[in-house]
């Protein structure tokens, strides 16, 4: 009796949620970008990208998941732009059928689109079985957005410049630490938040220890609250939970996070906030250490 054909699963990548543990805006550059100093950490969870090779050269994208309805699947989507950019750079004749399962809120300060683009680049290098130098891939990533290069590795990094200067940053107090992400159901415009920054340089970021990060700040927090006051409500709700060692807004908002000393305290906080604010999105996860 012949054996049944094996089921071949499509290749998959996780687009890990990005967390700005601290974010200092040091100035506005002549090219219009802002000079930043930030410690990027990444969650174990995020969006999911899967793909299969096609022979017609086309890049086809299907978007689903809890937040899939908030995204177009056309040429403006960062997944499509990443795929077509890599395809053109390599001169690749094959295409790909890509599926983006959108688990993270859109325009929420946790690098969803950037992480999706980076995961697409990682996926397609495997799918097409191509060799490309890390520096070349990083340059393609930067063309897609300031956060995309850091999202390629999705490991804790000290990020400066507009996002092009990256340094792997090992901090034992962060690796594997429980974290709760909370979004009040609001999409915030990054450009609008940056426009509200008061242009005051409040000094460099000390990322040498968890204590230094706790003493740091997110310089976009106040301008984001001016745009979306519900962010202050999220921060207040997180601040009431037991076991919080740091609470802050990530990126340009509106997602906020709290780092916890124990998984139990993190779970209790997630349950309490979900019960009290059923319209808010929450994700209980851990800081990725890989």
The residues carrying an active-site annotation are: 18, 147
What single-letter DSSP state applies at residue 69? G
3-state DSSP call for residue 161?
strand
Q: What is the CA radius of gyration of the chain?
A: 19
Q: Are 258 and 179 in contact (CB under 8 A)?
A: yes
The first and second tokens of residue 237, run together, are 């709700």
C-alpha–C-alpha distance, residues 289 and 204, integer Å: 25
Q: Are 218 and 254 in contact (CB under 8 A)?
A: no
41: exposed, middle or buried (Cβ count in 10 Å: 0-12, 13-18, 19+): buried
C-alpha–C-alpha distance, residues 84 and 90, integer Å: 10
Residue 191's nearest CA partner among 112, 253, 257 is 253
Run of H or E including 41: strand 34-54
């Amino acid at each position: 009796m012949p054996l049944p054909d094996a089921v071949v699963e499509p290749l998959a990548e996780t687009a890990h949620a990005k967390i700005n543990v601290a974010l200092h805006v040091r100035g506005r550059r002549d090219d219009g970008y802002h000079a930043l100093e930030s410690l990027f950490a990444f969650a174990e969870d995020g969006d999911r990208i899967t793909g299969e090779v096609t022979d017609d050269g086309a890049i086809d994208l299907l978007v689903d998941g809890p937040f899939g309805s908030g995204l177009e699947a056309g040429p403006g989507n960062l997944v499509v732009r990443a795929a077509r950019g890599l395809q053109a750079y390599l001169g690749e004749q094959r295409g790909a059928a890509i599926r983006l399962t959108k688990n993270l809120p859109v325009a929420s300060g946790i690098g969803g689109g950037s992480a999706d683009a980076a995961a697409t680049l990682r996926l397609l290098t495997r799918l097409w079985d191509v060799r490309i130098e890390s520096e070349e891939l990083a340059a393609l990533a930067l063309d897609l957005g300031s956060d995309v290069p850091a999202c390629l590795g999705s490991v804790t990094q000290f990020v400066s410049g507009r996002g092009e200067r990256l340094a792997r940053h090992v901090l034992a107090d962060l690796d594997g630490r429980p974290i709760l992400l909370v979004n009040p159901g609001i999409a915030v415009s990054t450009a609008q938040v940056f426009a509200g920054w008061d242009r005051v340089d409040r000094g460099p970021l000390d990322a040498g220890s968890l204590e230094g990060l706790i003493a740091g700040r997110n310089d976009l927090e106040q301008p984001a609250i001016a745009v979306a006051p519900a962010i202050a409500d999220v921060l207040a709700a997180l601040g009431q939970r037991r076991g919080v060692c740091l609470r802050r807004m990530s990126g340009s908002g509106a997602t906020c996070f709290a780092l916890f000393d124990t998984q139990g305290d993190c779970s209790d906080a997630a349950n309490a906030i979900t019960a009290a604010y059923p319209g808010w999105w929450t994700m209980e996860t851990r800081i990725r250490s890989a």
